[in-house]
Amino acid sequence: MKRILHILATLALLAAAALGAGCAGGAKRVSPPAAMVQQLQVQADGSWTVDVRLHNYSSVSMRFDHVRLELSVDEHPAGTLEASPALSIGPTAADVVQVTLRPQPMARLAVADALASRRALSYRLEGTVRATPDEAGKAREFKGDGQSALNPAPGLEGVLR
């Protein structure tokens, strides 16, 4: 009889744990996404190709509809990165949007100097990202302000990563 009670108690605990695990996965969380420069490549005509990495920190897929970010390098305004990618990114995943930019003269000089001297280049992105949670269907605009640094890519002329 004692053994049967022990088995029943164990089964009850397993059932409660399974039920709790099933309920825990049901919460949907929409978090602000992040944007960062993954790569900046100087083109022959002086323009830049900027790979902007968009990270979806939400627990649901998000469709990224519009990106408008002011880029500055070494505290010099470079210009506005603007794109309408209509890109769907899964939960806690990331993808890249490529944007062409004709930079301001001082920013162009800062990038040229960083490449020539093989040094790190600080940058800042400030602006908005409009994204729609796939399940909710209502677009939301997220403001962002982040900074980091890029380094010359070994063996790749005119590329900072």
Residue 55 in tokens: 């990270």
**8 belongs to a structural domain:** no
**126 belongs to a structural domain:** yes
Residue 85 has φ and ψ, to the nearest 5°, of: -75, -25
Cα distances (Å, whole numbers) of residue 108 to 23, 117, 150: 53, 14, 14
Each residue's pLDDT tens digit, 31-84 = 999 999 999 999 999 999 999 999 999 999 999 999 999 999 999 999 999 999
The pLDDT-based confidence of 3 (bands split at 50, 70, 90) is low
Whichever domain contains 93, its CATH number is 2.60.40.1820
pLDDT of 1 reads 53
**10 belongs to a structural domain:** no
Each residue's pLDDT tens digit, 8-37 = 444 444 444 444 444 455 678 899 999 999
Query: Amino acid identity, residue 123?
Result: Y
The pLDDT-based confidence of 153 (bands split at 50, 70, 90) is very high
Question: How many structural domains does the chain have?
Answer: 1
**44 belongs to a structural domain:** yes
**81 belongs to a structural domain:** yes
CB atoms within 10 A of CB 89: 20
**139 belongs to a structural domain:** yes
DSSP class of residue 31?
Answer: -
- Domain extent, residue 154, equals 34-160
**39 belongs to a structural domain:** yes
**20 belongs to a structural domain:** no
